[in-house]
Structure 1
Amino acid sequence: MDHLLEIHNLEVKFRLRSGEVTAINDVSFFLDQGERVGLVGESGAGKSVTGFAIIKLISKPGFISGGKVLFEGRDIAGLSIEEVRNIRGNRISMIFQDPMMTLNPVLSIGTQMTETILAHKNVSRAEAQAIALDKLKKVHIPSPEKRLDQYPHEFSGGMRQRIVIAIALLTDPAVIIADEPTTALDVTIQAEIMDLLSELCESEKMALILITHDLGVVSQVTDRIIVMYAGRIVEQGLTRDVVSNPRHPYTQGLIAALPESQQRGKTLCQIPGNMPSLTDMPQGCSFHPRCELVMPICKEKVPELIELDNGNALAACHALAKGGAS
């Protein structure tokens, strides 16, 4: 069975004065219709770059240097700008981190929504307004008829993010890529937005790629988790399995650092050190300078993803290959 979206050996590089650096290295995963997948990792792991590469939004000096991105069987990486535009916004929509960067402050919400619909669909302005109103209702905006005439600054942060989600829904996409959609919101509003995304995935049969550093959010919303570190996938599997039994030392560290994993009054756990920079990537496994299980081979050879649990999980760790880190 073909998957809705397939990423094969994706590689993204950036041209710097000092030479080319690799931001995404040999990343492969798939997404099925209606499925919710979480891309997880610290800042600098390559999550957002992966999301941008999927819809060919990598700007210079970055470029896709290898691999394929197959959407409904077509390789997006090989399409012209015009052909990509027919997919981006139509079939694949993206929700960005900061709604105020997405919304135009000098145009009413109704104008922004109707212009988006008219740019992508062959409908009348009256039909476009009806679609905009329907989508505002779907994201539970109160008094949506009045809200269409208001401007972004008249909404709270949570309401603005709901409007951004409504705009992403305007073309009835098959996939939504949500890049840290709750970062700027308080905890209660975060939960509401994530509940909303889950509800929409079920009701609209949409697939979701949720990009976040927050494992707590991912564990509540997604079907599968893909953990990234320094531009590579280090672990992936069913959400419940990865959260309850993480196999890679990095994933174990992320879960141990969650506040809910701690005992009251104890110091919070943390992974020592920092994510390596693209210009100073360690040889071998990029996680080895921070890993408690480091062996000589870790400093020499990049570990390959190995199948675990009868192929239901993958992890890239030399200790696992030797029968450890379980």
Structure 2
Amino acid sequence: MALLEVRNLDVRFAVRGGDLHALQGISFSLDRGERLGLVGESGAGKSVAAFSILKLIAQPGYIAGGEILFEGRNLAAMSERELRQIRGNRIAMIFQDPMMTLNPVLTIGTQMVEALKAHRSITTQAAREIALAKLRKVYIPSPETRLDQYPHELSGGMRQRVIIAIALLLDPEIIIADEPTTALDVTIQAEIMALLLELCEGEGVALMLITHDLGIVSQVTQRMLVMYSGRIIEQGPTREIINDAQHPYTQGLINALPQMGERGRRLYQIPGSMPSLRNIPTGCPFHPRCEFATDICGQDMPDYVTSGNVNVACHEVRKLIDEERQMQEVKS
């Protein structure tokens, strides 16, 4: 049994004029110790999917359907009291901006000790010792000094290390990292991702990494989901997708990477932009931007088709697979 299994998740926002569909039919799983990437442009639904797992969607958002099974228990049906035993304890989350996560008027030590005491019956001194151990684990220099400092006294990279240390406080089985390197420069980004990878491999923690950076996904994750307009359009082993992407949108994301461009020529850009929740196209939501789109793409949402170890939602991919199968049947 998978550690985490999401089945047909449907998330909506209740607004004047009718509900807006933020997620539709999202299904995926996460095994113990596995590293999973969620990829897509801004507005694809990545963060909504992550927040939904811990029921952190703020009103007017709500989970309209589906199941979120953690060790077989449906998180979507749990009360707030039951979820308190899961959030931060067994499933931890790293948010985009550490300055929005850390309380600016409390020392690092106070925040770490309070997090521990909220979930465990433990003395302040014992909690402080655990906090020190976690700060050492994320390679923060002079951890005794850092415990008594305030967030503004630390650099951006140091604050993000503190956030990771807080996520590790209660030895969770899953860490959800939502764009954990967005506010950091490239050098610090690499250090933080290397740290997360080391911790996951050393501690056996499952990682769900939400990002728009395919370069990071290719280096860190074992499996990836590509999201577009609230749907998963391609999922499978990371290496297989990066090396031979099937969906035109995934191909566009890979072609847009700077290293894929030719010297002296403009970088590739997918035409158009992500549709708003109020104006999601009929059929395949990517069809207005797709160079391979046909009439059926604007009429029907494609079902998943399997190509190798990858599941893809694309009419053209299904057509190519069917044609190849027919050719093989003729030859045989």
Partners of 2:305 and 2:136 lie apart in 1 by: 45
Could you tell me how far 1:247 is from its partner in structure 2?
0.3
Partners of 2:270 and 2:317 lie apart in 1 by: 19
Partners of 1:304 and 1:54 lie apart in 2 by: 24
The residue aligned with 1:41 is: 40
Q: Percent identity?
A: 63
Could you tell me how far 1:246 is from its partner in structure 2?
0.3
DSSP-derived class of the 1:12 partner = strand
- Amino acid corresponding to residue 55 of structure 2 in structure 1: K
The residue aligned with 1:18 is: 17
Could you tell me how far 1:18 is from its partner in structure 2?
1.6
* Alignment of structure 1 residues 106-185 onto 2, 5 Å: 106-185=105-184
Deviations 1:187-217 (A, max 9, x none): 0100000000000001111000000011111
Partners of 1:101 and 1:77 lie apart in 2 by: 26
* Alignment of structure 1 residues 75-114 onto 2, 5 Å: 75-114=74-113
Deviations 1:200-257 (A, max 9, x none): 0011110000000111111110000100000000001111111010000000000000
- Amino acid corresponding to residue 137 of structure 2 in structure 1: K
- Amino acid corresponding to residue 234 of structure 1 in structure 2: I
- Tell me the TM-score normalised to structure 1 length: 0.98
- Amino acid corresponding to residue 26 of structure 1 in structure 2: G
The residue aligned with 1:54 is: 53
Matched, 1:292 2:288: no
DSSP-derived class of the 2:117 partner = helix
Could you tell me how far 1:26 is from its partner in structure 2?
0.2
* Alignment of structure 1 residues 219-234 onto 2, 5 Å: 219-234=218-233
The residue aligned with 1:323 is: 320
Partners of 2:292 and 2:88 lie apart in 1 by: 44
* Structure 2 alignment gaps of length 5 or more: 325-332
The residue aligned with 2:328 is: none
DSSP-derived class of the 2:175 partner = strand
Matched, 1:314 2:314: no
Could you tell me how far 1:172 is from its partner in structure 2?
0.4
* Structure 1 alignment gaps of length 5 or more: none
Could you tell me how far 1:264 is from its partner in structure 2?
1.3
The residue aligned with 1:253 is: 252
Could you tell me how far 1:295 is from its partner in structure 2?
0.5
The residue aligned with 1:192 is: 191
- Amino acid corresponding to residue 148 of structure 1 in structure 2: L
- Amino acid corresponding to residue 317 of structure 2 in structure 1: L
Partners of 1:227 and 1:200 lie apart in 2 by: 25
The residue aligned with 1:63 is: 62
Partners of 2:50 and 2:143 lie apart in 1 by: 31
Partners of 2:175 and 2:61 lie apart in 1 by: 23
DSSP-derived class of the 2:84 partner = helix
Could you tell me how far 1:36 is from its partner in structure 2?
0.4
DSSP-derived class of the 1:194 partner = helix
- Amino acid corresponding to residue 45 of structure 1 in structure 2: A
Could you tell me how far 1:121 is from its partner in structure 2?
1.1
- Amino acid corresponding to residue 88 of structure 1 in structure 2: R
DSSP-derived class of the 1:86 partner = coil
- Tell me the TM-score normalised to structure 2 length: 0.96
- Amino acid corresponding to residue 153 of structure 2 in structure 1: E
- Amino acid corresponding to residue 96 of structure 2 in structure 1: Q
| RMSD (Å), alpha carbons | 1.1
The residue aligned with 2:241 is: 242
- Amino acid corresponding to residue 2 of structure 2 in structure 1: H
DSSP-derived class of the 2:320 partner = coil
Deviations 1:27-65 (A, max 9, x none): 000000110000000000000000000111111000000
Could you tell me how far 1:127 is from its partner in structure 2?
0.8
